[in-house]
């Protein structure tokens, strides 16, 4: 009986690390951060239908396309002790997480303008509050720490040189700022509002609430209304 055809390995998440070095293993997990963020993007877009998240993800994909082009234009090799295929300049991981962390900071600190609760809100409603500026700054800092560790892990695992990581991080940050400005222009000129009135966007229930509201608030208010109606109905029955 002839031997079966040799099997190939799906190497999307195939990361080399030193099994005797716990820090190397930690860096190997950090290498999966971009894939995890893509899952988070897709989940949030599907569950919230928020235009801001979809636009940020579109910018993230555009950033990846640009990295693909830059690598083939510069054609700089990876470190001598190579653990990956393809060119190394700039680091795609560093560019990816830099775009993500800068986009998070720009949204939380610049674009997000939470509305104050209505003055006639009931106690249960007024107990909810939006994140303070300090809390949003802390979240932005946490995203920056994750991005920094992920970028550094590429150097520790010998996938990239320090220069390749720094250039990738710089490119990602610059693209994030440019994309933030471009999406802001879409808002100011009314193109985003026009797109959300498109029949396809309405069929997909796309919306643009996250700028002024957090994602949990609308659902919480609906739940509170239903809960109060249920409690009021039970109290009327007992009377």
Q: Which residue has the higher pLDDT, 141 or 118?
A: 141
Instruction: Answer yes or no: is 116 within a domain.
Output: yes
Instruction: Answer yes or no: is 4 within a domain.
Output: no
Instruction: Answer yes or no: is 3 within a domain.
Output: no
Instruction: Answer yes or no: is 233 within a domain.
Output: yes
Listed in sequence order, the residues at least 6 apart from 84 whose beta carbon sits closer than 8 Å to its beta carbon are 16, 78, 159
Instruction: Answer yes or no: is 7 within a domain.
Output: no
Q: How far is CA 11 from CA 15, 16, 79, 139, 147, in A?
A: 8, 11, 20, 32, 23
**pLDDT value of residue 34:** 92
- In the 8-state DSSP scheme, what is residue 117? P
**pLDDT value of residue 126:** 46
- Measure the CA–CA gap between 103 and 202, rounded to whole angstroms: 26
Least confident of 23-32, 123-132, 142-151: 123-132
Each residue of 63-116: pLDDT tens digit?
999 999 988 888 888 887 665 567 778 999 999 999 999 999 999 998 888 776
Each residue of 192-229: pLDDT tens digit?
888 888 888 888 888 887 887 766 665 666 677 777 77
In this predicted structure, the answer to whether residue 4 has a pLDDT above a threshold of 80 is no
In this predicted structure, the answer to whether residue 55 has a pLDDT above a threshold of 80 is yes
Instruction: Answer yes or no: is 14 within a domain.
Output: no
Instruction: Answer yes or no: is 15 within a domain.
Output: no
pLDDT band at residue 124 under the 50/70/90 scheme? very low
Looking at the structure of the chain, the number of domains it has is: 1
Average pLDDT value for residue range 38-66? 91
Q: How far is CA 33 from CA 36, 71, 82, 117, 146, in A?
A: 5, 21, 21, 36, 9
Please state, as a whole number, how many other Cβ atoms lie within 10 Å of the Cβ of residue 38: 15
* % of the chain at pLDDT higher than 70: 77
Instruction: Answer yes or no: is 28 within a domain.
Output: yes
**pLDDT value of residue 208:** 81
Average pLDDT value for residue range 181-192? 90
**pLDDT value of residue 232:** 67
In this predicted structure, the answer to whether residue 7 has a pLDDT above a threshold of 70 is no
Domain of residue 158: give its range.
22-238
pLDDT band at residue 37 under the 50/70/90 scheme? very high
**Mean residue pLDDT across the chain:** 82
**Cα dihedral sign for 128, 125, 109, 43?**
positive
Say if CB 91 and CB 165 are below 8 A apart: yes
In this predicted structure, the answer to whether residue 122 has a pLDDT above a threshold of 90 is no
In this predicted structure, the answer to whether residue 119 has a pLDDT above a threshold of 70 is no
């Amino acid at each position: 009986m002839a031997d079966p055809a040799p099997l190939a390995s799906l190497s999307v998440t195939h990361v080399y690390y030193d099994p005797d070095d716990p820090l190397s293993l930690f860096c190997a997990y950090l290498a999966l951060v971009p894939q995890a963020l893509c899952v988070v993007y897709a989940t949030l877009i599907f569950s919230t239908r928020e235009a801001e998240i979809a636009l940020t993800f579109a910018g993230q994909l555009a950033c990846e396309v640009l990295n693909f082009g830059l690598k083939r234009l510069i054609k700089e090799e990876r470190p001598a002790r190579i653990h990956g295929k393809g060119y190394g300049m700039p680091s795609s991981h560093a560019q990816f997480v830099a775009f993500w962390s800068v986009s998070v900071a720009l949204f939380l600190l610049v674009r997000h303008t939470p509305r104050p609760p209505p003055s006639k809100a009931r106690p249960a409603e007024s107990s909810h509050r939006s994140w303070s500026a300090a809390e949003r700054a802390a979240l932005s800092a946490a995203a920056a720490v994750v991005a920094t560790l992920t970028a550094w892990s590429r150097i520790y695992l010998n996938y990239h040189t320090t220069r390749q990581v720094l250039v990738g991080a710089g490119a990602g940050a610059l693209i994030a700022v440019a994309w933030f400005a471009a999406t802001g222009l879409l808002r100011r000129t009314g193109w985003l509002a026009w797109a959300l009135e498109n029949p396809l966007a309405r069929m997909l229930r796309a919306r643009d609430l996250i700028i002024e509201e957090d994602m949990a608030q609308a659902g919480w208010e609906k739940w509170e209304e239903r809960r109060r109606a249920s409690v009021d109905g039970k109290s009327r029955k007992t009377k």
